[in-house]
Amino acid sequence: MVTPTSAKRESAKAHHQAIFSAATYQLEATKAARELATQLDREEIGFVLFFCSSGYDLKALGKEMKQAFSHCDVMGCTSAGEITESGYAKSSISALGFSRRDFQVSGMRVPLEDFDLQSAQLCVTSLIEACQSNQKAPINTGSFVLTLIDGLSPIEERFLVTLDTALGRLPHFGGSAGDDVNLANTHVYSEGAFHTDSAIVVMFNTHCPFEVFTTHHIESLDSKLVVTHADCNARRVYEFNAEPAAAVYAREIGIDLSELRPEIYALHPLAVLIGDQYYVRSIQKVNEDLSLDFYCAVDDGIVVTAMRPGDMFADMESKLEAIVSRVGEPELTLGCDCFLRRLEIEQTMTRDRAKDIFRRFRLLGFNTYGEQLNGIHMNQTLTGVMIGHPPSGTSWAAPYLNKKAG
C-alpha cells in the first residue's frame, strides 16, 4: 500500500497525531484501566486496541476497560508479552488509541466453531457497511483488517482460509492470543468481556498510507523431513520419515533428545515451502511418546525443511526501511511478534538492540502464539502493518496502489 512521493513529502512536512499509545504496569485491574484511560484521555479517540498479560483478573479487567472507555469501542487479547514504548514488557498492558479524524474502525467477535463461508461473508459485509458510514478513503484501497484469535484453538487455519476467501483483495494480518507462555487459556476481548474459542475481526479504513507486511530471519538448511504420521486437528506430528518425530528432529539438529526445550525450538525451527516463500512451523512441546506438538497445523504428507536463524536485526531493519521508503515515516508500526523471536532475543541478550529498532519504527503490539497473513498461519515471524502520517489539509489522500503482501 503506497502513496505518491509528493503525498509523502507533504505528510512529512506537517501532520497531526493520528494514533496514541499508552501502557500500564499496574497489576490491579481497576488501577490499570484507569491509568490507560488517563493516558488516552482525548476526545478524538474513537477506537482502542489493547494487549494484556493473562496474569490479570480478566473478568474484572474486562468490566473496568469497558467502563474506562465507555465513549468508544475497545477490543484486544491476552498476550505472551507486550511491546510498549519501552520495548518488550511483561505483566503489563499495551494500548493504542485511533483518532476518529483519520480512522473509521469497525470490529466484531465471531465464534471459531462453525465459521463457514456464509458466516465470513456476513462478517465482512457488516464490517464494510459500518466503515462506509464515515469512511476516510475508498474501502477497497484504503482498508486493512486485523484478526486476533484464540491462540490455543486447533481450527485457526480453517478460520483464516475461510475469512481470506470472503475478504478478497483486502489485506489482512493478525496474531494468535497468548497467555504468558503457560499454554493453558488464551482470550480475545470484545464488548466488555474476555472470550475463548473466538476471533476478533477489525477493519480499519483510513486515509493514512499503510502497508501490511511479514518478515522472518530463518534460513533453510536444505534438509527435508516428510510428515508420515500426524493428527492435523491436534497439531501433532508422530513421525518424520516413518520414525518417531522427536528423535528425528533431535538427530537432525545434532543434539540429544534430553536437551529438547523451548529455547532449542526457537533456534532450530522447521518450515514449509509455499511458492517461493518459507513459512515457519514452530514446535510447542515434546510428548512422552516422542511426538511433537506444533503451534500451527501440520498434516500427513507435508514436507518440512530444517531451518536456522539468520540475522534478525538486519532482516528487520531492511524490511522496515523498505516500507518507510514507500509510506513515509511511520505514525505507528503495529506488530504481531512471535514469542519465540523474543525468546531468541532474550537468550542472546540483545533486548536493547531490539528496543532501538522498535523505537525507530514506532513498533508497538504484542508477542503471539502465531502470526497470520492473508489466510496463512505461521510462526516465528514479525507480521503487522506500518501506518504513515496522515495527509495534511485534506480528509482524502492521493490514490493508493493496493496489493496484498505475501
Look at residues 119, 370, 79, 375 and name the one whose alpha carbon lies nearest to residue 235.
Answer: 370
- Check residue 4 and give its pLDDT: 43
> Are residue 165 and residue 245 in the same domain, yes or no?
no
Query: Strand 210-215 to strand 93-99: parallel, antiparallel, or no bridges (unpaired)?
Result: unpaired
- The CA distance from 150 to 145, in Å, is 17
- Check residue 393 and give its pLDDT: 59
> Are residue 42 and residue 148 in the same domain, yes or no?
yes
- Check residue 400 and give its pLDDT: 39
> Are residue 232 and residue 280 in the same domain, yes or no?
yes
Q: Residue 146 falls within a domain, yes or no?
A: yes
> Are residue 188 and residue 337 in the same domain, yes or no?
yes
> Which domain CATH number covers 250?
2.40.30
Residue type present at position 117: L
Domain boundary among 261, 291, 309: 309
Q: Residue 162 falls within a domain, yes or no?
A: yes
Displacement of CA 259 from its chain's centroid (Å): 30
Question: What's the chain look like in SS3?
Answer: CECCHHHHHHHHHCCCCCEEEEEECCCCHHHHHHHHHHHCCCCCEEEEEEEEECCCCHHHHHHHHHHHCCCCEEEEEEECCEEECCEEECCCEEEEEEECCCEEEEEEEEECCCCCHHHHHHHHHHHHHHHHCCCCCCCCCCEEEEEEECCCCCCHHHHHHHHHHHHCCCCEEEEECCCCCCCCCCCEEECCEEECCEEEEEEEEECCCEEEEEECCEEEEEEEEEEEEEECCCCEEEEECCEEHHHHHHHHHCCCHHHCCHHHHHHCCEEEEECCEEEEECEEEECCCCCEEECCCCCCCCEEEEEEECCHHHHHHHHHHHHHHHHCCEEEEEEEEEHHHHHHHHHCCCHHHHHHHHHHCCEEEEEECCEEECCEEEECCEEEEEEECCCCCCCCCCCCECCCCC
> Are residue 40 and residue 183 in the same domain, yes or no?
yes
> Are residue 73 and residue 38 in the same domain, yes or no?
yes
> Are residue 119 and residue 26 in the same domain, yes or no?
yes
Query: Strand 236-240 to strand 292-294: parallel, antiparallel, or no bridges (unpaired)?
Result: antiparallel
CA angle 234, 237, 238 (to 5 degrees): 115
Q: Residue 8 falls within a domain, yes or no?
A: no
Q: Residue 200 falls within a domain, yes or no?
A: yes
Domain boundary among 309, 330, 353: 309
What is the tally of structural domains in the chain? 2
Report yes or no: 295 and 281 within 8 Å, Cβ to Cβ: yes
> Are residue 187 and residue 97 in the same domain, yes or no?
yes
Q: What averages of pLDDT result for each successive group of 10 residues across the chain (406 residues)?
A: 46 75 98 98 96 98 97 97 97 98 98 96 98 96 98 94 96 97 96 97 98 94 93 94 96 92 87 88 94 92 92 96 97 97 92 96 98 94 97 51 49
> Are residue 284 and residue 296 in the same domain, yes or no?
yes
- Check residue 275 and give its pLDDT: 84
Record the pTM.
0.89
Q: Residue 76 falls within a domain, yes or no?
A: yes
- Check residue 70 and give its pLDDT: 94
Domain boundary among 252, 277, 309: 309
> Are residue 205 and residue 272 in the same domain, yes or no?
no
Q: Residue 9 falls within a domain, yes or no?
A: no
Q: Residue 394 falls within a domain, yes or no?
A: no
Which residue range forms the structural domain that includes residue 255? 218-309
Handedness of CA 202, 93, 184, 80 (dihedral sign): positive
Q: Residue 374 falls within a domain, yes or no?
A: yes
Report yes or no: 191 and 69 within 8 Å, Cβ to Cβ: no
- The CA distance from 384 to 164, in Å, is 16
- Check residue 82 and give its pLDDT: 98
> Are residue 77 and residue 125 in the same domain, yes or no?
yes
Report yes or no: 209 and 388 within 8 Å, Cβ to Cβ: yes
- Check residue 301 and give its pLDDT: 95
- The CA distance from 99 to 109, in Å, is 22
> Are residue 361 and residue 294 in the same domain, yes or no?
no
- The CA distance from 278 to 307, in Å, is 10
